[in-house]
Chain A
Amino acid sequence: QSVLTQPPSASGTPGQRVTISCSGSNSNIGSYTVNWYQQLPRTAPKLLIYISDQRPSGVPERFSGSKSGTSASLAISGLQSEDEADYYCAAWDDSLNAVVFGGGTKLTVL
């Protein structure tokens, strides 16, 4: 059971907008920023969003992040087939004194 809760799956058709949620608590998302990772099949994770809503250089503007209270969201607009991957949220947790990850959301592009 992960400390951060994500839906196990999400799907959309090319061109659609998809949102993935991440729910936590006051000790993690409620107090710290959220980072999102994309993991394509059989590859290492890639930092997609940091400090809740910032994109590293090279990440398309189609990817955006937001945070409100103890929840965060990743939105992908103009969905493309290459976006099919697993997506993970993560944050620092000061009760555990550790980084905590969500269980991951498998995004399928139909």
Chain B
Amino acid sequence: EVQLLESGGGLVQPGGSLRLSCAASGFTFSNNAMTWVRQAPGKGLEWVSGISESGRTTYYADSVKGRFTISRDNSKNTLFLQMNSLRAEDTALYYCAKRYGSIWGFDYWGQGTLVTVSS
């Protein structure tokens, strides 16, 4: 059974940093591209970042480019999102998701970890 378990969310002050993790199991992690998608309270889905199977290629939404860094450790089946210079508008539930083959569709999602940016 595929499982994605996010952790690392919490309350942080504006300008602060957080590192999110996503522990994957039930599939060959190193064979799958991964992504982060967020959802602000009461709002829609927003794609944040994606990473290739090897980790060599990364993609970012303009809203987080230069502030967030996606990475992965295939030896530990774990996906990361380093978030710096956090802003109030980054407050959201952050989901990690597995890319479905070669398409930019996501077939398995975690339950999310909540990030709140507030003073």
Q: Identify the A interface with B (CB < 8 A).
A: 2, 32-33, 35, 37, 39, 44-47, 50-51, 56, 86, 88, 90-92, 96-104
Contact = CB atoms under 8 A, between A and B. Distances in A.
A37 B104 contact: no
B11 interface: no
Contact of A88 (B44, B61, B62, B103): B44
Contacts of B37: 45
B112 to A, nearest CB: 6
B10 interface: no
A103 B42 CA distance: 12
A7 B19 CA distance: 35
Nearest to A91: B104
A97 B59 contact: yes
Interface of B: 35, 37, 44-47, 50, 59-62, 95, 100, 103-107, 109-112
B106 A47 contact: yes
Main secondary structure of the interface of B (DSSP, over half): strand
Given A44-B110, A47-B100, A101 B105 contact: no
B112 A44 contact: yes
Contacts of B61: 96, 98
Contacts of A92: 104
Contacts, number: 64
Contacts of B60: 98
A103 to B, nearest CB: 5
Given A2-B44, A47-B100, 13 more contacts: A33-B103, A35-B104, A35-B106, A44-B111, A45-B109, A47-B105, A47-B107, A51-B103, A86-B44, A97-B59, A99-B50, A101-B44, A104-B45
B109 A50 contact: no
B71 to A, nearest CB: 18
Contacts of A56: 100, 107
B37, B62, B103, B105 interface centre (most CB from chain A within 10 Å): B105
A32 B44 contact: no
Contacts of A91: 104
